[in-house]
Amino acid sequence: MLSILIPTYNTGITALVTSLLDQTREAGVVYELIFCDDASTLYQEQNSALTAQPNVRTLKNESNLGRTATRSKLAKSAQYNWLLFLDADVLIDNDQFIKNYLTALQSDSSIIVGGTSYVNIPPKNKELRWKYGINREAKNAELRMENPSYIISQNILVKKEVFINLNIVESRRYGLDNIFSYQVYHQKITVLHIDNPIVHTGLEDNLIFLDKSLQAIDTLIHYEHSGSISRNFTSLQQAYQKLRKLRLDFVYPTIFSLFKLGIQNNIVSNRPSLFLFDLFRLNYYIKSRKNA
């Protein structure tokens, strides 16, 4: 028995839901599909029409709560023990998607992560998000199992009680997958990564993704102070700790300032360097951490 849960905000989900319904029926699994509209202004009528399908229902937030709080609402509304969370801005191009997850249920894991993929050609003005996704997120299961606690939560199957215990933060911040992943690590939750990716289609423009990446660093620092994540869990934090041991954390921003404009121009261009993107984020983390 399976609860498929999709938080939505200004995104049409007809193609996604159609694929899911076809596959669940073919698999013969008992299921429900619930999507929760997070106070959208677009696609409301189109998405609502999906509730005409059997076992599909919708919830609605009166105000915009954000993805994390919306997921909590969906989880508490679900009637089955296994929750399949999917983001609204994804597509399924694998006709065995549901069956692959059902097969993986034979493991003893409390979380099963399918992974993510991207189209082969970067969308115009979205090269930074695409390149980051291709190189940092679109990894096969073997590579992801090297660090199993790190989870990109846009495509996960998780036990209901486990998710509710892990999803302790319900703010409207960016970067909360880091906090969720740390809780998975801290609570020693068993995770299985499999090769069952969705296609992530909802990519942000370069400047928007850069801004969201910096907001995610603000989130990281905020939850460092609250103790919800350790100070050396992410690769960004680990890079800072190495600089600190070498006593270079004070001089780094000064040196970086000499090249900041050129670096920023590169990372929002159509040929961004992820190395320069990492340097930019590290500088922001150092400065923001000192000012927090």
Rounded to an integer, the average pLDDT of 152-168 is 95
> For 181-207, how does the pLDDT look when each residue is reduced to its tens digit (9 = 90+)?
999 999 999 999 999 999 999 999 999
Question: CA nearest 32: which of 21, 23, 42, 19?
Answer: 21
Same-domain pairing of 184 and 251: no
What is the rounded average pLDDT for all residues in the chain? 96
**Predicted local confidence at residue 190, as pLDDT:** 97
Pair 187, 222 in one domain: no
**Rg of the chain on CA atoms, in Å:** 20
Mean pLDDT of 145-174: 93
Boundary residue ending a domain (154, 174, 200): 200
195 with 217, same domain: the answer is no
Q: Which CATH number do you get for residue 30? A: 3.90.550.10
Residue 115, domain extent: 2-200
Based on the domain organization, do 119 and 152 belong to the same domain? yes
pLDDT of residue 272: 98
pLDDT at position 75 is 97
**Length in residues, the chain:** 292
The reply to whether 140 and 175 lie within a common domain is yes
* Residue 64 confidence (pLDDT): 94
The CA-atom distances, in angstroms, between 197 and each of 53, 71, 122, 127, 194 are 25, 20, 18, 21, 8
In this model, does residue 292 exceed pLDDT 90? Answer: no
Same domain, 47 and 22: yes
Note whether 211 and 180 are same-domain residues: no
What tens digit of pLDDT does each residue of 40-74 get?
999 999 999 999 999 999 999 999 999 999 999 99
How many structural domains does the chain have?
Answer: 2
Query: So what's the pLDDT on residue 36?
Result: 98
Measure the CA–CA gap between 126 and 269, rounded to whole angstroms.
Answer: 9
Same domain, 62 and 127: yes
Which pLDDT score, from 0 to 100, does residue 168 have? 83
Both structure tokens of 97? 């998607």
User: What is the reported pLDDT for 23?
Assistant: 98
pLDDT at 241 (0 to 100) = 96
DSSP character string of 221-278? HHHHHHTSS-TTSSHHHHHHHHHHHTT-TTTHHHHHHTTHHHHHHHHTSSS--HHHHH
Domain end, chosen from 177, 200, 223, is at 200
The predicted-structure confidence for 214-256, as pLDDT tens digits, reads as follows: 999 999 999 999 999 999 999 999 999 999 999 999 999 999 9
Q: Which of 200, 221, 254 marks a domain boundary? A: 200
pLDDT at site 169 = 80
Does residue 170 surpass a pLDDT of 80?
Answer: no
Q: Which residues contact 226 (CB under 8 A, 6 or more apart)?
A: none
- Whether 173 and 213 map to the same domain: the answer is no
Would you say residue 172 has pLDDT above 90? no
Q: Name the phi and psi angles at 131, rounded to 5.
A: -65, -40
**pLDDT tens-digit profile of 79-125?**
999 999 999 999 999 999 999 999 999 999 999 999 999 999 999 99
Is 210 found in the same domain as 196?
Answer: no
Same structural domain, 229 and 173: no
